Structure 1
Amino acid sequence: MDKIKIEELEVFAKHGVFPEENVLGQKFLVSAVLYTDTRKAGQTDDLTASIHYGEISQFIDRFMKEHTFCLLERAAERLAEELLLHTPLLKRIELEIKKPWAPVGLPLKTVSVEIDRSWHAAYIALGSNIGEKKRYLDKAVEALNETRGCRVERISSYIETPPYGVIDQDMFLNACLKLSTLLSPRELLARLHEIEKEAGRERKIHWGPRTLDLDIIFYDDLVCQEEDLCIPHVEMHKRTFVLKPLHEIAPYKRHPVYGQTVREMLETLEIKR
């Protein structure tokens, strides 16, 4: 990925733990590495095909002056998020905020906070087999798309499938979607649980009936195996109701553990059946 760099932009703003810092203000130095694709701009000499570092600098200056935060961590987090949300071609940002006049009572050159934030690609499986199934799926897609730091990029067709595990229940309506998100895996999981709860989901019977079921299938190429969070989804390669709609939107997405594409996993599963 190509980079555009802004180094030590000087801003006078009012951030700090002490009340006098919020009133009197002080100098901050902001540096940013903007990750984007500059190929088209390099070929056409067209500024609209790249990121305007002058506009980014003005954005940083305005944001730092219009807000007041106690912590540099908070200032950096919010600024990075706002830049990623409002800069269409920005894929990732490394951001550093330095505080040269930090009131620590000791001689020092500067203190700083440096963070790295980016957009991530997550694939979410959706399912429902109680009540107005399509409405539950539609509302879940809408809720995700309206979540700050989330953009629904693609969604599969809705397919009807037989129940998995506990078979004495109604048919399921299933789908998969691709989500661009600034949320961490745990933040995304928490948001999915909130949306399920809003739909009246009750976790009483494992593999039992549910108004709405939302699962993280992939999150970039992350491999995470924790007690309450497994990515890729541990059962996804065994589930036709996941692989079929996922194949519709991402047939060549490769499983980071097994090395197979979604198409290959689906073909293998269909042969076994």
Structure 2
Amino acid sequence: MDTVFLQGLEVEAIIGVYGWERQLPRPLIFDLALGVNTREAASSDHVRDAVDYAAVAERVSAITRELQPALLETLVETIARRLFDEFPIQQLQISVNKPGAVAKVKAVGVRIERRREDYAACGR
């Protein structure tokens, strides 16, 4: 399995369980590793045969801005489901960091790993 990755995707979003967190957007930082087969794109040299990582970044950003959940767990699970629906990926690792969420802590966040069949088995 090959990997297409995006590191350090920053998105301003409303997220949090406390009222003060929901007043203003705050930065979230995403890292994604998409398990794909890159052989066809490598041999054709056509973007149509590749996973469009700019489109992936835009979808993650749009979902994050639109959803406005209380929990990071809800956010990353929703993103995972939608990326599997919209892109030809077989595996996904996604992490999100919420800077400043906990005082004196460098990073707080959630990381998940999913495979396409995880969603087929549970039926959504």
TM-score, scaled to structure 1 = 0.44
The alpha-carbon deviation at position 23 of structure 1 amounts to: 2.2
What root-mean-square deviation, in Å, do the aligned CA atoms of Structure 1 and Structure 2 show?
A: 1.5
Amino acid at match of 2:96: I
State yes or no: 1:43 paired with 2:43.
yes
Number of aligned pairs?
124
For 2:97, the equivalent position in structure 1 comes to 98
The answer for unaligned runs of 5 or more in structure 2 is none
Amino acid at match of 1:86: E
Considering Cα pairs closer than 8 Å and 6+ residues apart, tell me whether 1 or 2 has the greater RCO: 2
* Contact 1:94–1:115 (CA under 8 A) maintained in structure 2: yes
SS at match of 1:182: helix
Report the Cα distance in structure 2 between the residues aligned to 1:16 and 1:28, rounded to whole angstroms. Answer: 11
Deviations 1:53-110 (A, max 9, x none): 01111111111111111111111100111111111x11111000111120x3x31111
The alpha-carbon deviation at position 18 of structure 1 amounts to: 0.8
State yes or no: 1:3 paired with 2:23.
no
Amino acid at match of 1:23: Q
Matches within 5 A, 1:37-76: 37-76=37-76
TM-score, scaled to structure 2 = 0.93
Amino acid at match of 1:100: P
* Contact 1:27–1:101 (CA under 8 A) maintained in structure 2: no
Larger Rg: 1
State yes or no: 1:118 paired with 2:55.
no
Using the aligned pairs only, state the percent identity.
Answer: 27
Q: Please identify runs of 4+ aligned residues in structure 1 that moved more than 3 A.
A: none
